[in-house]
Amino acid sequence: MLLALVSLLSCLLPSSEAKVYSRCELARVLQDFGLDGYRGYSLADWVCLAYFTSGFNTAAVDHEADGSTNNGIFQISSRRWCRNLTPNAPNVCRMYCSDLLNPNLKDTVICAMKITQEPQGLGYWEAWRHHCQGKDLTDWVDGCDF
């Protein structure tokens, strides 16, 4: 019970290590993790996704009515991908949702890569489908030094 309470409080309190990336800073980090061209998606796709899901904020958490959360810079859902306080959720990424709030993005990128391996790819994210898919995304990485 105490562990559950501590976990809940850690989700509700703002992270002292929260980071809001700049567009080019995030593009560089995602490129370093190998996301440019991963599963056929450009670096601009990933940057666009991050902007429209979290505003580049690693500490973003959206609480849903069913008790699930969307976590981190890509707003990854606890319904399937990570563990929060719901004991029987699938946890496909095999990590705690709080791991997705880390500003170094390693766990977030690992989980996002797993999600992208699904048949929907980046289409899993409604924000990407509505704001990024099929659009000219060159402005998302234009002017960034790599």
Residue 35: name the closest of 21, 56, 50 by CA: 50
Query: CA 109, 114, 117, 123: dihedral to nearest 10 degrees?
Result: -70
Task: Give the pLDDT band (50/70/90) at residue 55.
Answer: very high
CATH number of the domain where residue 109 is located: 1.10.530.10
Task: Give the pLDDT band (50/70/90) at residue 16.
Answer: low
Average pLDDT over every residue of 88-115: 96
Task: Please report the pLDDT score of residue 8 as a whole number.
Answer: 41
Task: Give the pLDDT band (50/70/90) at residue 87.
Answer: confident
Residue 6 lies in a domain: no
Q: Kindly report the average pLDDT of the chain as a whole number.
A: 90
Least confident of 31-45, 73-87, 112-126: 73-87
Residue 126 lies in a domain: yes
**Which domain, by its residues, includes 60?**
23-140
Question: Which structure tokens are listed for 89?
Answer: 């959720």
Residue 17 lies in a domain: no
Cα angle vertex 19, ends 72, 134, to 5°?
55
Residue 8 lies in a domain: no
Residue 39 lies in a domain: yes
Question: Which structure tokens are listed for 21?
Answer: 């990336």
Q: What pLDDT digit, counting tens, does each position of 117-134 carry?
A: 999 999 999 999 999 999
Residue 61 lies in a domain: yes
Task: Please report the pLDDT score of residue 7 as a whole number.
Answer: 44
Task: Please report the pLDDT score of residue 61 as a whole number.
Answer: 98
Higher pLDDT, 15 or 129: 129
Task: Give the pLDDT band (50/70/90) at residue 9.
Answer: very low
Residue 63 lies in a domain: yes
Residue 146 lies in a domain: no
Name the domain count of the chain: 1
Separation of CA 5 from chain center: 24
